[in-house]
Structure 1
Amino acid sequence: MRRYGLAVQVFTGLILGIIVGAIFYKNPAVVTYLKPLGDIFMRLIKMVVVPIVISSIVVGVSGLGNAKKVGSLGFRTILYFEIVTTLAIVIGLLFANIFQPGTGVDLSELSKGDISKYVETTHQVESNGHLDMIINIVPTNIFDSMAKGDLLAIIFFSVLFGLGLASLGEKGAPMQGFFKGVSDAMFKVVGYVMKFAPIGVFGLIGVTVSKFGIGSLVPLGKLIIVTYGAMIFFVLVCFGLISKLFKIDFFGMLKMLKDELILVFSTASSETVLPRLMEKMEKFGCPKSITSFVIPIGYTFNLDGSTLYQALAAIFVAQLYGIDMPLSAQISLLLILMVTSKGIAGVAGLSFVVLLATLGAAGLPIEGLAFIAGIDFLLNMGRATVNVIGNALATVVVSKWEKEFDYKQNADCLSGLKRAA
């Protein structure tokens, strides 16, 4: 398989996983032998994410030079995130109202999944309040935050550390060199980890298909089709218009990211490609200082695919139970999602936790989510892929907005892609 590219290897692992899972449906041996493969791959990815995020942000922020530049970059980044994620919520609501995926579905045909762990997390979030979530962005112990993989706290510390390092001038040069070395070394490690990706994908998909079966998709087929239709529309139309506005070769960018997009789709986790995404966007012409700032923050605040799905799924649950949602109620739902999708960023099982919190706030039955728990992995494959595309595009937009985009590097990258084709 070495002579084939990563995309082909991962896709092969995906197909083989589906076949094995379908053949050995409900067979406990699949979990016994395949689950460790997927678990090991996800652990390898989690192992490299934290050191890459810290070293990249420290190098990037210290390279910016001062707090004023960081403040300008931060404001423009968050403003862009808020506009695009709000647009994603609107698209989700529109598709849910136009195609009505929840109407005509017989509840007796649906099987329920276990959502108790998400309900418990939601109660903890609601009892602590969103103000506490903001407070917790500031870590009391950065090593504890690193151990937990608390990305928001890690980003906060790394930005402050980078600013402190920049203020030292020449005295900070040796430390900057150290973090640059750590960053370069970790990207090499990512190259080694990616060699295991096809096997990890095979294990993850095989276990999922074996557990839920192909048949579980039939009763909720309309929801799956409408969700993917909304995501494709959002990517082609909304991202396409943004690309046209900022003069970005959108399809060239997608072509460059094809390996990463197949990998994230296969694993249903955007985390698997975070290091490679940062590396690829630098090759596309985005400066390291912006790439290392925008992408890690985007992984918690710019989840376009997730917010679109959350809006669509909330209306789906209302339709499932025959609950009328007038325009005023849907506007309230939009405002609730604008808060909840940002307020609990970084919580494990984010999409389900956000949905549970949103349904509770909107007065909709939270038990409705149990009916779609079985197909959530399939939907998450699309959500994660759109999230990655959204963060890649955001990096280019902010780079151009800050007038730091390298057009020559971009032209060389696109020329290389054409020659490779």
Structure 2
Amino acid sequence: MTSTKLTNYILGAMLLGILVGYLVNRHGADSGFSVQYVTYISILTDVFLRLIKMIIAPLVFATMAVGIARMGDASTIGRVGLKTFAWFISMSTVSLLLGLVMVNLLHPGVGLDLALPDVAASSSINKGGLNLPDFVKHIFPTSIMDAMAKNEILQIVVFSVFFGVAAASFGERAAEFIRNLDMLSHIMLKITTAVMKFAPVAVFAAVSSVVAENGLSILLTYGKFMFSFYAAIVVLWIVIIAISAIFLKKRALKLAWMLREPALLAFTTASSEAAYPLTLEQLERFGCKNKIASFVLPVGYSFNLDGSMMYCTFAAIFIAQVYGIEMSTSQQLLMLLVLMVTSKGIAGVPRASLVVIAATLSQFHLPEAGILLILGVDHFLDMARSATNVLGNGMATAVISKWEGELS
């Protein structure tokens, strides 16, 4: 299936999913059919995401270990790592700051003036795992098998770095093994090609189940908030591409176009993980050398979540606006700094953005129960966040490749 055909099929599946979901919700809610429909149709989405997750651990390990082994000495790895994290921190700051600017310009929560909830009210979202000691310990795996079984990308990255550096130290003696490991990555990409043929079915199931369960009314109820956030995401896309164009020139637009398919897949499934194999494949087609792409991309999945960063500041200030709570510029900038630190520990935490927001609200005396206001439409917002994360990581990989002279 060609790239253009798959993109068209995914778009068609999304539109058909909205229509079918609407019909099921409208005509099957009273009889209970809509509940049964959601239960069973969601199986298709779950199966697809499981198939993708089945691929990720061996693919990340194989590509990253091979890339680092071919990088050579530790100084090269350190140099690439330093450039990578400098870019990630810079773009995270831009995303958080842009979220603050857009929510203050668009005022999506102003005028609702909801009564403050009971001080004891809680969103029931587990904020555990965000403290620094636990996060630092979480980075290092106790067992690579356990890390792979749980798809802990950050832990797999750490093991792959050690493995790649050790393999490189053996020189020619390890050359044959590295070639075999490289073949493993190509085999996993071949499996990805087969799995992706199932993507339109999974997209149809994902979209139709959400609409069948909630109806189209949920989109109208939160219309202003969702429209404002999507407008902010569009601005963020323009900013990411514009900053990347400083280094990639006109090729930044070409890369953005090439990333449309993995971004669309991430959008429709609300999972950037689902797009990882395709993103890696498109980056290599663009001209990024495997040894750089296989290092930057998986690290980016833990530390460079541009869409999620913007959502953190946008949603937090939205909740303050809804309850009529005024926050000074200095308080908002302090919140930005807090989010910058706490968000770096969200890898592997379920509903990561919501967890970070919940943890931050209490620190600024904002009602944590405000999270409940956005839970209903979080899936639709997560779609935009996931697609943006794919674009941000793709651009980051290309820029680092350019800096290293490894972009053909």
Same fold, TM exceeding 0.5? yes
Give the aligned length: 396
Q: Hey, what does 1:59 align to over in structure 2?
A: 66
Q: Hey, what does 2:90 align to over in structure 1?
A: 83
Query: Mean alpha-carbon deviation: is it higher for 328-337 or for 29-38?
Result: 29-38
Is this contact kept in 2: 1:30–1:206, CA < 8 A? no
Within 5 Å, give how 1:125-164 maps onto structure 2.
125-126=129-130, 129-164=131-166
Cα separation, partners in 2 of 1:4 and 1:86, compared to 1, 3 Å: closer
Q: CA deviation at 1:242?
A: 3.0
Superposed CA RMSD: 1.8
C-alpha separation between the residues in 1 aligned to 2:51 and 2:365? 40
Within 5 Å, give how 1:187-336 maps onto structure 2.
187-336=189-338
Is this contact kept in 2: 1:21–1:30, CA < 8 A? no
Q: Hey, what does 1:93 align to over in structure 2?
A: 100
C-alpha separation between the residues in 1 aligned to 2:122 and 2:286? 41
Q: Hey, what does 1:363 align to over in structure 2?
A: 365
Please, what TM-score do these two structures have when normalized by structure 1? 0.90
Cα deviation 1:288-345 (Å, max 9, x = unaligned): 0110011101111100011001110000001111111001110110111101111232
C-alpha separation between the residues in 2 aligned to 1:115 and 1:46? 32
Question: Secondary structure at the residue paired with 2:376?
Answer: helix
Question: Secondary structure at the residue paired with 2:316?
Answer: helix
Question: Secondary structure at the residue paired with 2:37?
Answer: helix
C-alpha separation between the residues in 2 aligned to 1:97 and 1:332? 15
C-alpha separation between the residues in 1 aligned to 2:386 and 2:250? 22
Cα separation, partners in 2 of 1:54 and 1:318, compared to 1, 3 Å: same
C-alpha separation between the residues in 2 aligned to 1:349 and 1:193? 25
Cα separation, partners in 2 of 1:79 and 1:92, compared to 1, 3 Å: same
Moved over 6 A (4+): 1-4
Alignment identity in percent? 40
Cα separation, partners in 2 of 1:4 and 1:338, compared to 1, 3 Å: closer
Is this contact kept in 2: 1:53–1:292, CA < 8 A? yes
Q: What letter corresponds to residue 73 of structure 2 in structure 1?
A: N
Cα deviation 1:19-65 (Å, max 9, x = unaligned): 11111114112113311111111111111011100000011000101
Within 5 Å, give how 1:23-42 maps onto structure 2.
23-25=23-25, 26=29, 27-42=34-49
C-alpha separation between the residues in 1 aligned to 2:7 and 2:366? 41
Is this contact kept in 1: 2:139–2:158, CA < 8 A? yes
Is this contact kept in 2: 1:130–1:344, CA < 8 A? no
Question: Secondary structure at the residue paired with 2:324?
Answer: coil
Q: Hey, what does 2:118 align to over in structure 1?
A: none
Cα separation, partners in 2 of 1:104 and 1:42, compared to 1, 3 Å: same
Is this contact kept in 2: 1:58–1:162, CA < 8 A? yes
Please, what TM-score do these two structures have when normalized by structure 2? 0.93
Q: 1:342 aligns with which of 319, 344, 351?
A: 344
C-alpha separation between the residues in 2 aligned to 1:284 and 1:29? 44
Q: Hey, what does 1:412 align to over in structure 2?
A: none
Cα separation, partners in 2 of 1:168 and 1:2, compared to 1, 3 Å: closer
Any gaps of 5 or more consecutive residues in structure 2?
116-120
